[in-house]
């Protein structure tokens, strides 16, 4: 017959529930371990273990294997992840959305995290019980009525207001990438007339702003869309404006076109994906895909454990990929 619990142990349990309810420990915060609980309230280790187990069963705490015990969130924690990607990610395999998808899917499958994949040019509601990873610049999250939903934006900041309280974000420091590109050109040789070739005018203006802190470009050319022939036209327009002795390309496609048209020895720095930069033989500031995936998984696990702390905006530095022969 089980030993009857003493009034003192019942008092300890009631005290713990009272502290949780009154917010002495916020949802998502680590709770006391069995040993800490036993020492603080002068009870046995076995009794402390039983109390924590009961508080988990009653919904006050949440326990994760190999991670610890947390104060449970009032909101039901997500049961998996939803990758919500712009439609171009499905049809254009070398675009950033498709690369991001491949990186995340590999990690999620390896770590056995349940997920669904959605392609959408727009969406009006979050998938229920899913932590959402959102990539694409055309979503107006103000249109979604269920604002109390944890998610993370990739390559974009959340909109002001309540949305920013629940939406984490992960971005690359584009301004720093532009500054670094300018510094690499200065370090590699003596140039006086650099030019710049970018994507559309509204795509990553911080790249150009950063570059301009180091150089005043001879000229800047944009393209209306991302097809290679449009970058060929942009490069021809640059050449018509006069000679330039180095070039900064704001994306992989423009760098690939420039390398083909200007030759392997022309001084060129780009921003983009490392695999494509290596294939084109281009020195580049590259997107830290592994670090982005690591951050997504860490944020998901935090929310899955019931952490309801305020969202954070994470700014990651780019990697540097030097082409063969580039001066170090």
For the chain, residues classed under CATH 3.40.50.2300 are: 80-172+289-317, 174-286
Alpha carbon distance 195, 217 (integer Å): 5
* pLDDT given at position 133: 92
Contact 302, 282 (CB under 8 A): no
Q: How many CB atoms within 10 Å of residue 288?
A: 16
Q: Give the model confidence (pLDDT) of 34-80 as tens digits.
A: 888 888 888 889 988 888 888 887 777 777 655 567 676 555 568 89
Question: In the 8-state DSSP scheme, what is residue 327?
Answer: -
Q: How many CB atoms within 10 Å of residue 162?
A: 12
The structure tokens 């009272």 sit at: 18
In sign, the C-alpha dihedral spanning 155, 273, 293, 315 is: negative
Question: In the 8-state DSSP scheme, what is residue 311?
Answer: P
Q: Give the model confidence (pLDDT) of 87-140 as tens digits.
A: 877 777 677 888 999 999 999 999 999 999 998 877 777 787 889 999 876 666
Q: Name the average pLDDT for the chain.
A: 85
Alpha carbon distance 167, 251 (integer Å): 27
- Residue 316 CA: distances (Å) to CA of 49, 79, 180: 41, 27, 14
pTM of the model: 0.75
pLDDT for 17 beyond 50: yes
317 — pLDDT class (breaks 50, 70, 90): very high
For the chain, residues classed under CATH 1.10.10.10 are: 7-71
Alpha carbon distance 191, 218 (integer Å): 11
* pLDDT given at position 23: 65
pLDDT for 328 beyond 60: no
The architecture (CATH level 2) of 80-172+289-317 comes to 3-Layer(aba) Sandwich (3.40)
* pLDDT given at position 225: 80
* pLDDT given at position 108: 95
* 319-321/283-286 β-pairing: antiparallel
The architecture (CATH level 2) of 7-71 comes to Orthogonal Bundle (1.10)
CA atoms within 13 A on the CB side of 295: 23
* CATH number for region 174-286: 3.40.50.2300
* pLDDT given at position 169: 93
Q: Give the model confidence (pLDDT) of 217-264 as tens digits.
A: 999 999 888 788 999 999 999 999 999 999 999 999 999 999 999 999
* pLDDT given at position 1: 39
Q: Which residues contact 258 (CB under 8 A, 6 or more apart)?
A: 197, 231, 235, 247, 249, 266, 268
Alpha carbon distance 153, 95 (integer Å): 17
Distance from the Cα of residue 65 to its chain's centroid: 25
């Amino acid at each position: 017959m089980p030993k009857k619990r003493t009034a003192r142990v019942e008092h300890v349990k009631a005290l713990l529930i009272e502290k949780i309810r009154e917010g002495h420990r916020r949802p998502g915060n680590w709770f006391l371990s069995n040993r800490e609980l036993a020492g603080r309230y002068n009870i046995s280790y076995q009794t402390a273990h039983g109390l924590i187990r009961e508080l988990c069963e009653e919904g006050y705490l949440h326990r994760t294997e190999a991670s610890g015990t947390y104060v449970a969130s009032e909101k039901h924690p997500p049961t998996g992840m939803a990758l919500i990607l712009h439609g171009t990610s499905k049809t254009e395999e070398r675009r950033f959305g498709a690369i991001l998808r491949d990186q995340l899917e590999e990690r999620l499958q390896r770590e056995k995290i349940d997920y669904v994949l959605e392609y959408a040019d727009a969406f009006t509601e979050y998938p229920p019980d899913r932590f959402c990873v959102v990539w694409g610049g055309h979503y107006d999250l103000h249109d979604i009525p269920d604002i109390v939903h944890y998610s993370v934006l990739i390559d974009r900041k959340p909109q002001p207001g309540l949305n920013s309280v629940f939406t984490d974000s992960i971005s690359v420091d584009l301004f720093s990438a532009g500054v670094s590109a300018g510094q690499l050109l200065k370090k590699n040789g003596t140039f006086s007339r650099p030019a710049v070739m970018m994507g559309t005018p509204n795509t990553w203006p911080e790249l150009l702003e950063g570059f301009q802190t180091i150089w005043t470009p001879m000229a800047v050319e944009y393209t209306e869309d991302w097809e290679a022939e449009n970058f060929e036209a942009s490069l021809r327009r640059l050449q018509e404006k006069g000679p330039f002795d180095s070039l900064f390309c704001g994306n992989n496609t423009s760098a690939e076109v420039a390398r083909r048209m200007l030759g392997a020895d022309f001084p060129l720095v780009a921003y983009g994906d490392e695999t494509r930069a290596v294939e084109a033989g281009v020195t580049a500031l590259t997107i830290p895909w592994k670090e982005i995936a690591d951050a997504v998984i860490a944020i998901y696990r935090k929310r899955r454990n019931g952490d309801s702390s305020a969202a954070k905006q994470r700014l990651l530095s780019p990697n540097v990929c030097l082409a063969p022969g580039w001066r170090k």
